[in-house]
Chain A
Amino acid sequence: MAYSTEHSPQPSRNHRSSDPFIRPSASQMVQMNPANTNRNGMNSNMDSGAKLNQFGEPAFFQPNQTVKSKFKIGSANDHYEQEANNAADKVLGNGNASITANGAAPAIQKAPDETIPTGPDWDPAKHVAPNFVADRPAPIRSNTKASTTDAGTASLPTTFIGHAAVDKVSSTWRYQLDSIESKGEIAIVYFTKSRYPAPEPSDDTGELTNVAENNWEDIVKDLHDNRAGIPDFWSAYLAEGLHEEYHWKNEWQVLLNQEMIKAEAEIAKLSLGFGEAASTVEAVAKLKPDVTTIFKAAVSQARSTWMAMSDSPGDPPYIAQAPALDALKDRVNKHAKDKKWDE
């Protein structure tokens, strides 16, 4: 090439001509005046001779308001930018810095940020769905102790596994989540056997041995009146599980999923220049504290929202238990009809 332009020793792929202190690339200058440009991107003035400015540069570097007013900035990585980058690569020997102005030892070196380190590629589209693991201890019986569901605590933690990944587009390290696990516990407490129409087994399918001619109407009324509440006396085994599973699946899992999606987006914004970490191990060490902070905040938010959800008779967790009570009520009704107690 017969002319010289000021190639930065470290040509930036993100070079934007909107920066008033950065000169447009040669190709962009060609773009400035299409009338002088042939389809090969060469300026016809250049072909024809040397119009140099006061700095000895091609004439289009001279201050010229008319030209400035016609200056257009192409979209990022457009044809002209690619061409400029290709030209830069040629000058720099494609990063090998083997070509120098005076033939001396290579003077052009890529900055550490420009060196793509070894590591798995970052996948910005990857989404990790939490894995939910609930401990369900064997049910106990009590007429005062409550069934409980819990998650998102120190003893029932939500944890993540991930790794540092190479984002070649932005030349940075990112943190890629691999998995998320949320532990929970669902502790079922049944009433004593006398409180169930079918006391054994503990799934409401057994014989209705606690149902008699003198109590079946009370049982039906209790099961009906408190289908979405706390029983006066009679209950259904399956109601406990339906209620607690609602907390676990319909509340906690939904809330945590929502917060994790937000957390993933925040984590995806974290980045570390290649020059700031030489390996995946180092990158993880530097990124993980921020990842952990985001993650913990998300779990905490999910738990706060969960605890604020109403859980009184008539609320969704209680409505969720109703089918078990309805089914048992129908069974008792049919039993009474079969025995002709209803006549």
Chain B
Amino acid sequence: MEYLISILKASHFLVFFSFHNPDTHSVATYVPKPLEPLGYYISVEVFDRDNIQIYQTYRPKVKPKLDPSRAESYLALEPGYTYGISLELEGFDPKPGVYQVAITYSNQQFQGFDGHSLGEILHREVLTLVVE
């Protein structure tokens, strides 16, 4: 499994996150369908040039519509395909400067279904953002 993560725009801060099953793989892989709300599966922290955290998302209490134990709560991602989401960081509009943006994905309770265990997935990437 690979992850494609990028910052789409800094004004009305828009983050893009997706799973990617490389076309070098020969089989489909299962990924959890739910990717929101922001802060639950995907969390974002922003640090300024002094490494001081200036923004963070918070994890809300969530009542999922999909049952983590059922196969229909997962998507079979064929080789070469991606599955993702763009998320806006409400209220965050960074001033010109250099920032480190840490984006973390956790599959939480969506750890697979009968015959397809995913286990705990935790992936974190830090991107450098320059706002001019």
Q: Which residues of A contact B (CB under 8 A)?
A: 142-150, 153-155, 189, 191, 229-230, 232, 240, 243-244, 247, 251, 306-307, 311-312, 317
- B residues near A (Cβ < 8 Å) are 33-34, 36-37, 40, 56, 58-67, 90-91, 109
| Known contacts A144-B34, A155-B91; is-contact A149 B61 (Cβ 8 Å) | yes
State the Cβ distance, B49 to closest chain A Cβ, in Å: 21
Decide yes or no: A240 and B63 within 8 Å by CB, A144-B33, A155-B91, A312-B109 being known contacts. yes
Closest Cβ neighbor of B36 among chain A residues: A145
Contacts A240-B63, A243-B63 known; 17 new A-B pairs at CB < 8 A? A144-B66, A145-B34, A145-B37, A146-B34, A146-B62, A147-B62, A148-B62, A149-B60, A149-B61, A150-B58, A150-B60, A154-B58, A155-B91, A230-B65, A311-B62, A311-B63, A312-B109
Complex contacts, A147 vs chain B, CB 8 Å: 62-63
Please give, as numbers and ranges, the residues of chain A lying within 8 Å of B65 by CB-CB distance: 142-146, 189, 191, 230
- With a CB–CB cut-off of 8 A, which chain A residues contact B91? 155
B109: A residues at CB distance < 8 A: 312
Alpha-carbon distance between A232 and B66 when the two chains are bound, in angstroms:
9
A149, B40: Cα distance in complex, Å: 12
Knowing A191-B65, A244-B63, A317-B63, say if A148 contacts B37 (CB, 8 Å).
yes
Q: What are 18 A-B pairs with beta-carbon distances under 8 A?
A: A142-B65, A144-B65, A144-B66, A145-B34, A147-B62, A147-B63, A148-B60, A148-B62, A150-B58, A154-B56, A155-B90, A229-B67, A230-B65, A230-B66, A230-B67, A251-B61, A307-B59, A311-B63
- Closest chain-B Cβ to A68's Cβ sits at a distance in Å of 62
Taken together as a complex, chains A and B put the C-alpha atoms of A157 and B109 apart, in Å, by 27
Are A311 and B61 within 8 A (Cβ)?
Answer: yes
Give CA–CA (A230, B67) in the complex, Å: 6
- What residues on B are CB-neighbors of A150 within 8 Å? 58, 60-61
Chain A residue at minimum C-beta to C-beta distance from B33: A144
* Chain B residues near A230 (CB-CB < 8 A): 63-67
A324 CB, min distance to chain B CBs, angstroms: 13
Q: Count how many pairs of residues, one from A and one from B, have CB atoms less than 8 Å apart in the complex.
A: 60
Task: State whether B58 touches A146 (Cβ < 8 A).
Answer: no
Bound CA–CA A149/B60 (angstroms)? 6
Complex contact B64–A247 (CB within 8 A): no
CB distance from B43 to the nearest CB of A (A): 12
Q: Report B50 CB to chain A, min CB distance, Å.
A: 19
Residues of B within 8 A of A144 (CB): 33-34, 65-66
* Chain A: CB-nearest residue to B63: A147
Interface hub of B40, B67, B90, B91 (most chain A Cβ within 10 A): B67
Complex A-B, nearest 4 residue pairs according to Cβ-Cβ distance, in ascending order: A150-B60, A153-B58, A148-B60, A230-B67
Shortest Cβ distance from B96 into chain A, in angstroms? Answer: 22
**Could you tell me the distance in whole angstroms from the C-beta of A199 to the nearest C-beta in chain B?**
17
What is the chain A residue whose CB lies nearest that of B41?
Answer: A146
Q: Which of B62, B65, B90 has the most CB of A within 10 A?
A: B65
A338: min CB distance to chain B, Å: 31
Q: In whole angstroms, how far apart are the Cα atoms of A147 and B91 in the complex? A: 21
A153 neighbours in B (Cβ, 8 Å): 58
Complex formed: what's the CA distance from A229 to B66 in Å?
11
B6 CB to nearest chain A CB (Å): 23
The chain B residue sitting closest to A247, CB to CB, is B61
Q: Which residue in chain B gives the minimum CB-CB distance to A195?
A: B65
B63 — which chain A residues lie within 8 A by C-beta? 146-148, 230, 240, 243-244, 311, 317
Bound complex: CA A189 to CA B65 (Å)? 9
State the Cβ distance, A303 to closest chain B Cβ, in Å: 8
How distant is the Cα of A240 from the Cα of B64 in the complex, in angstroms?
A: 10
Bound complex: CA of A173 vs CA of B90, how far in Å? 41
A146-B37 contact given A153-B58, A191-B65, CB 8 Å threshold = yes
Residues of A within 8 A of B66 (CB): 144, 230
Residues of A with C-beta under 8 A to B36: 145-146
When C-beta atoms are compared, the residue in chain B nearest to A189 turns out to be: B65
Q: How far is the CB of B74 from chain A (nearest CB, A)?
A: 12
Task: For residue B37, give the distance in angstroms from its CB to the closest CB of chain A.
Answer: 5
B100 nearest CB across to chain A (Å)? 19
A136 to chain B, nearest CB (A): 14
Assembled-state Cα–Cα distance A42/B128 (Å): 84
Chain B hits for A311, CB < 8 A? 61-63
B64 CB to closest chain A CB, in angstroms? 5
